[in-house]
Structure 1
């Protein structure tokens, strides 16, 4: 009796693809019909008690590995008796003569399906292990015994998908519908092609013993699938994709799915791409490991981080998003002749947006909507890149339409100088890091991080908006009070998801209310304090590695530990505006189209309000004036100021209203 290990060895070789010639179907059907006829004649001789069975033995038709039957028997290492038993079950479905003979031999007109007892009595080379649970017939569900009777008496049926496969009409298992999908190879970058070549070489040299699992890691899900598909194409396999999220939770169901998938791989000449989510779910990860180890065929695990597979040999390969040179080649290919009209002006797009091939092609298709020349194409391409790069981040954070400009920002010159320096760092990051070689020295500290500290309304969010608008990038606000979780490890997971999504776009990330995280920093007294400090360290670590601009805002700079400040490149203190700055804010508070009457910015500056509160007062005053059909005047502003002070629970002094009518 063969054990499971022997069966697993038998599927080490992939199925040869069906020859694409019009005569294959006829040859396959002729071969199957001849073999079924041979089994039928064996039943007829057994029924004729006067015949000498031993002397009448009929040799099997010579095996043809290019037929469905020949391939199936070789792939699953069926013995001659198992092969004939499979043919007996197929014949009962395809040949009414065999069904009638089974009923006659069973002496029961209702028992038209073969039984194992009948096969043991009629077919040569019979052995009991042919129907054991570890046998290939049972393990791979090629035949299925009925229930409720002794094993020798129970009727044997053939799996419908296997029957269609033998008949040459293809292999379709309805139980796998919606779970498996084909993956086609496409245009690969140089690094993806190198990974595909390594996979093909690894599997081509595997021999008959086993297929080592391949773990494709890295930050490019689409690239991993493309590299896997190209590797399979190179060695004559198709590639089928299965989402790890569709794996059953129950071990028995998971094992059954593994058998069904592997059977399809063998019969179709395919490999399986198992795409697993990187969520830190211990139970789901254990199920993923169990499924991978239950399979012995060609398997590719595609996820950001590798899995430990104690019971299966595996090899890890990295497939990351295209680097700058690869993105340049993809852009040149996608733009074609239009690339020359840009005169190299797509270089900033290459540096800023980490798009894959599909994203680049989609951006080009969106930007090439009209016949405008290179002058108009550049801005359209940039806008299209922003749309393509933001897709993942839109579901994780609030996107702010950045409309504010430098003219809208009223700050002391020192703070403005730091903000302009931040914009310069972002604009020229690729030049300094890549072309001037700073990135080759270390990966640490390449992120452009900043801390904006100051009271509410002093312009922290507006400054981030100005920077995003100046750089032509999206601005996303992440509320740390919602990101931080009381459950250990959840905060880091939330931050990782955000930064991974933002890496594609280089967006400006505004982490609002950083006090929610930094406020936990304290003397380490218990495990909760340690984990709180770990969360802060993880955030700063990801900010250091993020190639875009990440900004933390806080109302209390004193809450930030100096050790953390050391890891932030820029710190900008937003002061409460003095009278001169408030005057300037009032001058810019009303749009040009707003009707005003006798407004005095100097007197308005007497109100001790921050910029955000001034904007609130200005807008409320505009509504008051509009409701009365009047231009905005000092009286409307006074009325709105009284309401704003009440909201702030702050007294409005006579000195602030001195000289007002």
Structure 2
């Protein structure tokens, strides 16, 4: 059966039916005009009614006019009044007849007064604000000093609907957008979509349609699941960001009415995207709740956390990331799609089982995996590099980077093991930390430790030592060797004086970081991890809850979380027991300082007669040594010379002044 021909035949039949219905109303107006002018004429309205009945019988499915009358429960008078207004747009005779009936050529438009006088089966309540014509804005009233004398005009959306043209009301454009593209779902998400569709199908039978709420940290999967649900139900899906819902009551109610009318006119569902919603914006939350609870039809709400709604039935579904096996399958399919030969990937053989490493490190959605492959394919097309494994790894890092701009700073790691001057025992612990991160999937999953107990699987470390002893550099080295992103968490923006806000901020940090398993660096954590305070008031109790929450998230975080402190003794021992590694970064001795000085200047930096042993007499930590070296390089560059002891001396004097520390002869004697 040719669906195109069916659509064409319906359009033609619908136009014929609408024309016949307009002819009947036009005849009613003509009869009224003749009576008013005392010029009755012999007419045969029966043939018009017969033509209407024949046009109705020829419709393969109900006409648009019949649908409108049924959906909005219009009476015969309301139907004729709507046709009267439609005739003004579609037939020039209607304007002439209106002017004649009004007895005024300037009033060539329909009014309630005209309709009440000319049309049959009149009832006054048809013009009430709560009656269908005005409540659903099927007609619009012009300005006039009396209600019955106001000009009437059919709403443009309704006019086009009657003629068979379907589109979204232009007043909703820019607020509500279509979601058409549907990617293939992983099996677990397909199962979820089918479950939700079944819930809707059953509820629709008993006229008790619930709101569906899809909750997870990731956005793309929820949209794809929602699109699949609507596809299974034969619905078109539209999306509205929660941020565009108006706060003013009049605008909000107008939006509710317009969208509800759309749900009546077409088989559609609305997805309200609350993923970026500020949960502190009470006015916005109230407006969203008002919209959701007063909008009928198929509604899907997507959010990171559940939104409480009281007046309508809500069915909640948690959307989990694809399983490890599903991610592996998506990777293989995406790699195959990167090849010109769709039947066999040229890249998959090069991976040599590296897909397993990608899945173990990056807990990605199907959409993010496809995006990473697309980015990798672009890089391969632009460069001669053929190391697909490295390119994909870096693409995953970029795609999985958390959005933590206001709570954290991404550090580009540059240091390596040779840049880290530490005693052998401390280096050994850092190597062990790296080994734990690399092999966590093998030990936890393959060797069964995760199945034995889910507690304490997170990898956490405390780096303790005075300022400048290399704690941040140690974290950079680990990130560099593990090829992972490093984020320094700004505790001043995370810790809040308002009860519950600190946990909320910490939740945002960990939730965003989990997808890519980034290294989290909580700098100067003793501000949060001090000795557990005696509970004297509610604030003390919640301060301890905040710390407990952070430790709990660290213990379950699939990546590495590093805390740094300048004073290990300030950390409560109960907290220390729950941290897997503790690395003490000692103040460097003379030998270690000499080694730092030998490595501090880059190979491209011109130097002359620098004596590392003499420089090592400066009793400062590695961070201060770096400041002195950098300042000396600027002084030498400004003088057009290589870096010499005299430049280091001037830089050391500046650094010691900043430290409010005297520069002794024992430290600089014999330099110049």
TM-score normalized with structure 1 length = 0.90
Distance 1:253 1:626, change over 3 A: closer
CA distance in 2, matches of 1:20, 1:640: 86
Residue 641 of structure 1 corresponds to 652
Superposition deviation, residue 573 in structure 1: 2.0
- For residue 307 of structure 1, report the CA deviation from its aligned partner: 2.3
Q: State the Cα distance separating 1:243 from its structure 2 match.
A: 0.6
CA contact (8 A) 1:130 1:137 kept: yes
Matches for 1:488-503 after TM superposition, within 5 Å: 488-503=499-514
Q: Does 2:73 correspond to 1:80?
A: no
Q: Secondary structure at the match of 2:309?
A: coil
The answer for the alignment partner of 1:532 in structure 2 is 543
Distance in 1 between residues matched to 2:452 and 2:44, nearest whole Å: 81
Q: Is 1:145–2:141 an aligned residue pair? A: yes
**Residue in 1 aligned with 2:224?**
226
Aligned ranges 1:542-621 → 2 under 5 Å? 542-621=553-632
1:345 to 344, 354, 362: 354
In 2, distance between residues paired with 1:627 and 1:382?
Answer: 42
**Which of 127, 132, 136 pairs up with 1:131?**
127
The answer to which of 554-563 and 290-299 deviates more is 554-563
1:112–1:439: structure 2 CA closer, same or farther, 3 Å change rule? farther
- CA shift for structure 1 position 374: 9.9
Is residue 2:254 matched to residue 1:256?
yes
Counterparts of 1:306 and 1:540 in 2: how far apart (Å)? 24
Report the counterpart of residue 192 of structure 1 in structure 2. 189
Contact 2:380–2:386 (Cα < 8 Å) also in 1: no
Matched residue, 1:160? 156
Which residue of structure 1 aligns with residue 365 of structure 2?
356
Alpha-carbon spacing, 1:507–1:126, altered in 2? closer, same or farther (3 Å):
same
What does 1:237-252 align with in structure 2 at a 5 Å threshold?
Answer: 237-252=235-250
- Give yes or no for contact 2:530–2:572 (8 Å, CA) kept in 1: no
Deviation track 1:626-649 (CA, whole Å, cap 9, x = no partner) reads: 444544444433333222222211
Q: Structure 1 CA distance, aligned partners of 2:591 and 2:310?
A: 70
Equivalent residues in 2 for 1:293-312 (5 A)? 293-312=293-312
Give 1:244 shift. Answer: 0.6
Instruction: Work out whether residues 258 and 294 of structure 1, in 8 Å CA contact, stay in contact via their aligned partners in 2.
Output: yes
String of CA shifts for 1:195-241, please: whole Å, max 9, x gaps: 21122212222126242111111122111111111111122111000
Quote the Cα distance in structure 1 between the aligned partners of 2:321 and 2:456: 21
The TM-score with structure 2 as length reference comes to 0.89
Shift in Å, 1:54: 13
8 Å contact 1:46–1:53 — kept in the other structure? no
Partner of 1:314: 314
Query: Which digits, 9 at most, give the CA deviation of each residue in 1:241-274, with x for residues without a partner?
Result: 0011000112232121011112223323211001
Indicate the SS of the match to 2:666.
Answer: coil
Separation in structure 2 between the aligned mates of residue 622 and residue 657 of structure 1, nearest angstrom:
18
Deviation, 1:516, is: 3.6
Structure 2 partner of 1:34: 20
Q: 1:211 aligns with which of 189, 209, 213?
A: 209
Q: Aligned in 2, Cα 1:382/1:603: closer, same or farther, shift over 3 Å?
A: same
- Equivalent residue runs for 1:396-545 within 5 Å: 396-440=407-451, 443-518=454-529, 522-545=533-556
Post-superposition Cα deviations, 1:480-534, rounded to whole Å, max 9, x if no partner, equal: 1233333444433333333332222211121223244335963333333333333
Q: Deviations over 1:59-88 (max 9, x none)?
A: 764385443223333333333333222212
Map of 1:280 onto structure 2: 279
Residues in 2 aligned to 1:347 and 1:517: alpha-carbon distance in whole angstroms = 37
Given the alignment, which residue of 30, 33, 46 partners 1:44?
30
Contact 1:248-1:254 at 8 Å conserved across structures: yes
| Alignment match, 2:98 | 102
C-alpha change, 1:437 and 1:89, in structure 2 (3 Å) is farther
Contact 1:81 1:123 in 2 (8 A): yes
Q: Mark the CA change 1:136 to 1:519 in structure 2 (over 3 Å): closer, same or farther.
A: farther
Give, in whole Å, the separation in 2 of the partners of 1:438 and 1:24. 65
Partners of 1:481 and 1:516 within 8 A in 2 = no
Contact 1:479 1:513 in 2 (8 A): no
Q: 2-side partners of 1:258 and 1:452: how far apart?
A: 55
How far, CA to CA, are the matches of 1:558 and 1:51 in structure 2? 108
> Counterpart of 2:305 in 1: which secondary structure?
coil
Distance in 2, matches of 1:341 and 1:264, equals 52
Aligned match of 1:292: 292
Judge which range, 465-474 or 594-603, deviates more: 594-603
Change (3 A) 1:300 1:559: same
In the alignment, does 2:176 pair up with 1:180? yes
**In structure 2, what is the Cα distance between the partners aligned to 1:237 and 1:30?**
28
The structure-2 alpha-carbon separation of the partners of 1:302 and 1:548, relative to structure 1 and needing over 3 Å to count, comes to same
Distance in 2, matches of 1:485 and 1:202, equals: 41
The 3-state SS of whatever aligns with 1:111 is: coil
**Contact 1:171-1:268 within 8 A present in 2 as well:** no
Task: Tell me how far 1:52 sits from its aligned partner.
Answer: 11
Cα 1:629–1:108 change in 2 (3 A) is closer
Q: CA–CA distance in 1 between the matches of 2:566 and 2:390?
A: 37
Q: What do the CA deviations read for 1:324-357 (whole angstroms, capped 9, x no partner)?
A: 2221111111101121221111222112223323
Question: Displacement of 1:653 after TM fit?
Answer: 2.6
Aligned counterparts of 1:380 and 1:261: Cα–Cα separation in 2:
46
How far has the Cα of 1:416 moved from its partner? 1.6
- How many Å separate the matches in 2 of 1:34 and 1:25? 14
Residues 447 and 110 from structure 1, CA distance in 2 versus in 1: closer, same or farther, beyond 3 angstroms?
farther
- Consecutive unaligned residues in structure 1, runs of 5 or more: 1-16
